[in-house]
Amino acid sequence: MTDMLQPGATIGILGGGQLGRMLAVAAARLGLHVHIFEPASAPAAETAARVTHASYDDADALRAFAQSVDVVTYEFENIPTAALDLIESICPIRPGRRALATSQDRLVEKTFLNSIGLHTAPFAPVTDIASLNAAIAAVGTPAILKTCRMGYDGKGQARLKSPDDAAAALASMNGAPAVLEGFIDFSAEISIIGARGIDGAIACFDPGENVHRDGILHTTTVPAKIGPSLRSDAVLIAARILNALDYVGVLGVELFVTPGGLIVNEIAPRVHNSGHWTQNGCLVDQFEQHIRAVAGWPLGDGSRYADVVMENLIGDDVLRVPELARSGVALHLYGKGAPRPGRKMGHINRVTSRQ
Amino acid sequence: MTDMLQPGATIGILGGGQLGRMLAVAAARLGLHVHIFEPASAPAAETAARVTHASYDDADALRAFAQSVDVVTYEFENIPTAALDLIESICPIRPGRRALATSQDRLVEKTFLNSIGLHTAPFAPVTDIASLNAAIAAVGTPAILKTCRMGYDGKGQARLKSPDDAAAALASMNGAPAVLEGFIDFSAEISIIGARGIDGAIACFDPGENVHRDGILHTTTVPAKIGPSLRSDAVLIAARILNALDYVGVLGVELFVTPGGLIVNEIAPRVHNSGHWTQNGCLVDQFEQHIRAVAGWPLGDGSRYADVVMENLIGDDVLRVPELARSGVALHLYGKGAPRPGRKMGHINRVTSRQ
């Protein structure tokens, strides 16, 4: 492991939200220093040795940041390309640029997934009313129109119940390139969180089953209620993506369970909300696994030793903390200020049984 | 729980070593802010939102520190009394002053333990050669002479094989008040880590069995190889101490297993090295349990779900990290600089089986 960063080396993290915060804690546990780059004040600042508050178009700040670290990783995928170019001229970025370029754009992502033999919802590109009408003809309705870039937690999306909704849906895209996705008849959504080391080794956490509320992840339950064959399909899908992208780090893959098998909903080139259960279900959680990978360390033991229900605390859910603190669940709060509707304030892991 | 600190409140921690670092991480996980007070540069600085580097005789710094926090706790017991007086005039200190005063002085501690009906090694106070000779007459030899204050990891101690060693042992105390302890014929040393909440609730972690090397803790193994009756004795001893001190927080108690039952070696009014196994053996570890208590939260679920061997990485042991990273153990490194002989660089938890 000649590429293995030594304790005392520094990992740069782009983004200082709760994912960056939990990555910083995992890095500290391995004796690694952390430098967070984040435009706003944000939760990760409290758990990192060093923070740069600067904009992603501040070249001087980016350069100083990149020069101060041994490797750069990130907690979100929508990082401006120019910033990445500048950083990469100075130090390695893991996971690499191909993973970012693929996942930053829904159209590129779906095309990539199909190209490596994986199934997605039917989709078609949309830039104007003509291409939208063509897309509706190809994938049918109901369907969902999504901006190609920058969407998350249900933002940048419009549903089309029938072709009559086309004009309104297109208007809500504000001129941004979009993709029309056909609806999938699925019985469940599961996630698989996979990791690939710098040596090409792959380790996947057990798939979890997701339930959303108002477009935001509400709970992830492990084990997912799927049989062994779907379970191994999920692992094989994650492994195929990880290898095809020559990936280093943790990757989240959302999958639809359908009568015809698993369909990839989307991928995230980072630790993922649906992997938070690993903090109380595995010796090495997704955050440490990601830090191990990007630091060039061998992957750790991510085998699941408990059944867990992860539940997000969104907005005023955080007011339940006093009651939750008494209830025997594991609490993970992000130290954010006032609760706002839709704001992820923390999560709990409820261990429902042990193995 | 009217005294329960809300997420966003700040916990002040006196001391920025590895214990402060792991306390800071536990506080962050509960959404609490941390302010570390530490004279030197130290490991906890990297995981805390705010750090004051100042001396314990800097009244202005202490005052500003105390005013910036909601409650003060500590990671070591040898805090100057004047600093504590100043802090306590501004905000609460938990665990309270009685626990500190008791544990700061071996003579006071042993006298206290006997006064609540607990057994200690025979002991006698030593200030000069006359009192040392009287002490030898009372407790016999072999015996061990220890400074009353400021000793840790075997420092400030001298062994007396026979009365002939008296003068040399006394000289090594450098005039400090000391206590002569008779040797105990023990089969094992165990630790019990207990916690008491602000509401008086008590929870103890399962006792662990300690092995020392060169006067420094080498391993702690859970479960300790003791029967159920000694196990409950250990819990009752911890509970008696916690109640007698009206204690709030986590307390470490070292016990000798002897043919006549358990004998208290010493107590530490803080999280304890022999409790590090809880990080990978319990849902709520000793660090979170301590933060919960001092923040006025209900104690969490500290029941043990795994057999664990904790091993300290001392000095050059840290050079084994690459090999350990591959071996399936949980790594906990403190981010310290160069390894020095006797310096605690980190620890590993090896889960040997699960329940």
Residue A350 near chain B (CB below 8 Å)? no
Q: How confident is the model at residue B117 (pLDDT cuts 50, 70, 90)?
A: very high
Domain termination residue (choose one: A162, A182, A202): A182
> What is the pLDDT at residue A1?
45
Which neighbouring-strand residues pair with B311?
B219, B348
pLDDT, tens digit (0-9, with 9 covering 90-100), for A79-137: 999 999 999 999 999 999 999 999 999 999 999 999 999 999 999 999 999 999 999 99
- Distance between CA A224 and CA A213 in Å, rounded? 18
pLDDT tens digits, residue range B225-263? 999 999 999 999 999 999 999 999 999 999 999 999 999
Confidence of residue A294 (pLDDT cuts 50, 70, 90): very high
Mean pLDDT over the full length of chain B: 95
Q: Please check whether residue A269 lies inside any domain of the structure.
A: yes
- A303 CB near a chain B CB, below 8 Å? no
User: Among the three residues A55, A72, A93, which one is the final residue of a domain in this structure?
Assistant: A93
Q: Do A246 and A301 lie in a common domain?
A: yes
- Most B CBs within 10 A among A5, A32, A283, hence the mutation to make, goes to A283
Q: For residue B305, which residues of chain A lie inside 8 Å, CB to CB?
A: 306, 354
A59 and A131 housed in the same domain: no
CB–CB of A333 and B31 under 8 A? yes
User: pLDDT tens across B279-292, in order?
Assistant: 999 999 999 999 99
| DSSP three-state, residue B266 | strand
Domain membership flag for residue B89: yes
Tell me whether residue B88 is in a domain. Answer: yes
* Whether residue A156 has pLDDT greater than 60: yes
Q: Rounded to the nearest 5°, which phi and psi values hold at B310?
A: -90, 135
Does B157 share its domain with B260? no
Domain identity same for A349 and A230: yes
Rounded CA Rg of chain A:
20
pLDDT for residue A2: 55
- Cα(B317)–Cα(A289) distance, integer angstroms: 23
A193 beta partners? A252
Residue B71 forms part of a structural domain? yes
Distance of CA A71 to the CA centre of its chain: 19
Task: Note the Cα B22 to chain centre separation in Å.
Answer: 13
Same domain, B136 and B50: no
- Residue B181, annotated ligand binder? yes
Domain harbouring A61, CATH code: 3.40.50.20
Q: Are residues A196 and A224 in the same domain?
A: yes
pLDDT at A350: 98
Q: Please report whether residue A128 resides in a domain.
A: yes
Helix (H) or strand (E) holding A81: helix A81-88
Q: Which residues contact B117 (CB under 8 A, 6 or more apart)?
A: B240
Q: Is residue B16 classed as helix, strand or coil in its secondary structure?
A: coil
Tell me the C-alpha to C-alpha distance, in Å, between residue B126 and each of B105, B148, B211, B343. Answer: 13, 9, 29, 30
Residues B171 and B204 reside in one and the same domain: no
**B 1-60 near A (Cβ less than 8 A):** 1, 4, 7-8, 21, 24-25, 28-34, 45-49
Mean pLDDT, rounded, for B149-176: 87
Q: Distance of alpha carbon B115 from its chain centroid, rounded? A: 21
- The CATH number assigned to the domain holding B126 equals 3.30.1490.20
In sequence order, the 6+-apart residues with CB closer than 8 A to the CB of A335 are A21, A43, A46, B7, B8, B28, B31, B32, B33
| Alpha helices by DSSP H, B104-157 | 106-115, 129-139
Number of domains making up chain B: 3
Chain centroid to Cα A271, Å, comes to: 5
For residue A34, give how far its alpha carbon lies from the nearest alpha carbon of chain B (Å): 8
In angstroms, the first-to-last Cα distance of chain B is 33
Instruction: Specify whether A341 is located in the same domain as A241.
Output: yes
Average pLDDT over residues A278-301: 97
d(CA B322, nearest CA chain A) in Å: 8
- Categorize the per-residue pLDDT at B44 as very low, low, confident or very high, splitting at 50, 70 and 90: confident
Which residue among A31, A292, A300 places its CB closest to the CB of B335? A31
In a domain, B100, yes or no: no
ipTM above 0.85, yes or no: yes
Across the interface, whether the CB atoms of A21 and B28 are under 8 A apart is answered yes
In sequence order, which residues have a C-beta less than 8 Å from that of residue B168 and are 6 or more positions away?
A: B158
Instruction: Give the domain extent around A18.
Output: 10-93
pLDDT in tens, A42-58: 888 888 889 999 999 99
Same-domain pairing of A63 and A158: no
Amino acid residing at B228:
P
Query: Which one of B198, B283, B344, B347 makes the best mutation probe of the A interface by having the most chain A beta carbons within 10 Å?
Result: B283
- Number of A/B CB contacts below 8 angstroms equals 108
- How far does B206 lie from chain A, in Å, by closest CA? 17
User: Do A128 and A198 form a contact (C-beta atoms < 8 A)?
Assistant: no
Kindly state the average pLDDT of the residues B37-62: 91
Residues counted in chain A: 355
Closest to A306 measured CA to CA, from A286, A332, A278: A278
B153 band by pLDDT with thresholds 50, 70 and 90: low
Dig out the tokens for B26 from the structure: 């536990």
Burial of B327 (0-12, 13-18, 19+ CB in 10 A): middle
Give the whole-angstrom CA distance, residue A103 versus residue A99.
6
Q: Rg (Cα) of chain B, in Å, rounded?
A: 20
Q: Which residues of A touch B334 (CB under 8 A)?
A: 31
How far is Cα A157 from Cα B228, in angstroms, rounded to an integer?
61
pLDDT surpassing 90 at residue B47: no
Q: Say whether both A154 and A32 belong to one domain.
A: no
Which chain A residues in 270-289 lie under 8 Å from chain B, judged by CB atoms? 280, 283-284
**What's the confidence (pLDDT) of residue A154?**
61
Domain boundary among B182, B200, B218: B182
Bridge-partner residues for A267, per DSSP?
A253
- Nearest 5 degrees, angle CA B81-CA B84-CA B88? 140
Strands (E), chain B: 10-14, 33-37, 50-52, 71-74, 123-126, 143-147, 157-160, 178-182, 188-196, 202-204, 208-213, 216-222, 249-258, 261-268, 306-314, 330-333, 344-354
Tell whether B204 and B344 lie within a shared domain.
Answer: yes
Say which residue the tokens 């508050």 belong to. Answer: A53
Mean pLDDT calculated for residue range A174-201: 95
Q: Which residues of B touch A310 (CB under 8 A)?
A: none
Cβ atoms of B195 and B297 within 8 Å: the answer is: no
CATH code assigned at A271: 3.30.470.20
B174 domain residue, yes or no? yes
Residue B1 has pLDDT above 50, yes or no: no
Distance between CA atoms of B244 and A149, rounded to whole angstroms?
Answer: 62
Element (DSSP H or E) covering residue B241: helix B228-244
B178 domain residue, yes or no:
yes
Q: Which residues of A touch B199 (CB under 8 A)?
A: none
Residues B76 and B153 in one domain: no
CA distance A68 to chain B (A): 15
